[in-house]
């Protein structure tokens, strides 16, 4: 994969120069075209070379042409997987009719994420015995990848299977952990949402998974939630803020937005809004800009290509 990506880039560069008005010697053209065949112009962690991480949450990520990898290609730091427990297996899909035996939590997320992290954490004499683990992005190796696991079936029954499914990432030391007194950030931060039971997260120690708290209730029903339990809290934009017209919020909407984000920030918790306008595109993009300026931790995105161009 490394060589094919670099080959494509270098070949394109060579053809571009060759077809331009800039004189380029034949020997130099040959170097550009053949550089990828040797080890000099590649390096072990170049899989995500040049990709800049962005505060993007790939909503319903399993709908992408290639789940996880599509989000990775544009720099999203968060992905979401809907899981359904049937016959002791976690399947991926938006609804029951979309499930198929090949599309599992393991095949679409655990194994691909593990594969990328292995590429970003090569064994070599240069690495030595360092305990630091690189994340999925070469340009920002300390950036964690948020993996939201949206439990669709009974949470009490399904969550233990999610915890078990994380074992390959756990064994490799790639998960963000909580030891009862503090959080140690890792390449992957798992956050349970949907039907994830709070009582199987809060109060559990040690653990390597967290909870997606309701953002709008952090100052009331869920006021005891801390960042050790919920690094990110979420709520529905449509419910909390309502409709958007002409790409602007009214004063009441702005006050609600600021208040909810500030409440979360005081707890060290990041904010995420889902179910905001996706059409008209002008309103959608305006909402992205408003949320980003307001300080949300993650922008909830369905159109990855559209957000990448903002």
Top-ranked range on mean pLDDT: pick from 29-43, 48-62, 194-208: 194-208
Q: What is the pLDDT of residue 24?
A: 64
Q: What is the pLDDT of residue 9?
A: 42
Contact residues for 122 (Cβ-Cβ < 8 A; gap 6+): 44, 45
Average pLDDT over residues 234-250: 92
Token pair of 4 as six digits: 């094919």
User: If you average pLDDT over every residue of the chain, what do you get?
Assistant: 89
pLDDT digits (tens, 9 = 90+) for 254-299: 999 999 999 999 999 999 999 998 888 999 999 999 999 999 999 9
Token pair of 38 as six digits: 């040797």
Query: Strand 210-211 relative to strand 270-274: parallel, antiparallel, unpaired?
Result: unpaired
E strand residue ranges, the chain: 54-58, 76-86, 89-92, 145-151, 177-178, 183-184, 188-194, 210-211, 213-214, 232-236, 270-274, 298-301
Top-ranked range on mean pLDDT: pick from 17-26, 74-83, 279-288: 74-83
Q: What is the pLDDT of residue 12?
A: 47
User: Mapping DSSP to helix (H, G, I), strand (E, B) and coil, where does residue 23 land?
Assistant: coil
Average pLDDT over residues 229-249: 94
Q: Distance (Å, rounded) from C-alpha 164 to C-alpha 168?
A: 9
Q: How confident is the model at residue 23 (pLDDT cuts 50, 70, 90)?
A: low
pLDDT digits (tens, 9 = 90+) for 100-151: 999 999 999 999 999 999 999 988 777 766 677 999 999 999 999 999 999 9
pLDDT at residue 241 is higher than 60: yes
Q: How confident is the model at residue 21 (pLDDT cuts 50, 70, 90)?
A: low
Query: Strand 89-92 relative to strand 76-86: parallel, antiparallel, unpaired?
Result: antiparallel
Q: Per residue in 269-278, is it b (16+ CB within 10 Å) or e — as a string?
A: bbbbbbebbe
pLDDT at residue 3 is higher than 60: no
Q: What is the pLDDT of residue 2?
A: 47
Domain boundaries defined on the chain: 1-42, 51-202, 212-310
More confident position, 98 or 3: 98
Q: How confident is the model at residue 55 (pLDDT cuts 50, 70, 90)?
A: very high
pLDDT at residue 34 is higher than 80: no
pLDDT at residue 73 is higher than 80: yes
Strand partners, 232: 270
Average pLDDT over residues 61-89: 94
pLDDT at residue 205 is higher than 90: yes
Q: What is the pLDDT of residue 29?
A: 77
What are the helix and strand counts (H, E) for the chain? 11, 12
Q: Distance (Å, rounded) from C-alpha 82 to C-alpha 177?
A: 22
Q: What is the pLDDT of residue 63?
A: 85
Average pLDDT over residues 236-246: 91
Q: What is the pLDDT of residue 310?
A: 66
Q: How confident is the model at residue 175 (pLDDT cuts 50, 70, 90)?
A: very high
Average pLDDT over residues 30-46: 75
């Amino acid at each position: 994969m490394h060589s094919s990506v670099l080959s494509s880039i270098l070949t394109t560069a060579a053809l571009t120069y060759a077809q331009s008005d800039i004189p380029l010697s034949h020997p130099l053209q040959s170097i550009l075209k053949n550089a990828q065949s040797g080890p000099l112009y590649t390096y072990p962690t170049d899989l995500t070379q040049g990709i800049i991480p962005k505060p993007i949450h790939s909503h319903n990520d399993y709908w992408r042409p290639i789940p996880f990898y599509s989000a990775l290609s544009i720099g999203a730091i968060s992905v979401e997987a809907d899981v359904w427990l049937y016959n002791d297996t976690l399947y991926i899909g938006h609804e029951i009719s979309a499930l198929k035996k090949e599309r599992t939590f393991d095949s679409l997320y655990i194994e691909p994420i593990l594969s990328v992290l292995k590429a970003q954490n090569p064994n070599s004499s240069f690495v030595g015995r360092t305990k630091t683990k690189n994340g999925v992005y070469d340009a920002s190796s300390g950036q964690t990848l948020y993996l939201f696991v949206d439990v669709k079936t009974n949470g009490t029954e399904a969550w233990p299977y999610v915890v078990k499914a994380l074992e390959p990432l756990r064994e490799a030391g790639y998960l963000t952990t909580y030891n009862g007194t503090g959080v140690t950030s890792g390449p992957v931060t798992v956050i349970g949402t949907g039907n994830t039971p709070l009582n199987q997260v809060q109060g559990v120690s040690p653990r390597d998974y967290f909870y997606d708290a309701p953002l709008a209730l952090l100052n009331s029903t869920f006021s005891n939630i801390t960042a050790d339990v919920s690094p990110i809290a979420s709520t529905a934009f449509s419910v909390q803020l309502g409709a958007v017209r002409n790409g602007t919020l009214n004063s009441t909407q702005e006050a609600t937005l600021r208040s909810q984000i500030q409440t979360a920030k005081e707890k060290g918790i990041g904010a995420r809004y889902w179910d905001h306008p996706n059409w008209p595109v002008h309103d959608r993009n305006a909402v992205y800009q408003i949320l980003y300026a307001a300080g949300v931790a993650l922008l909830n995105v369905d159109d990855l290509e559209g957000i990448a161009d903002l």
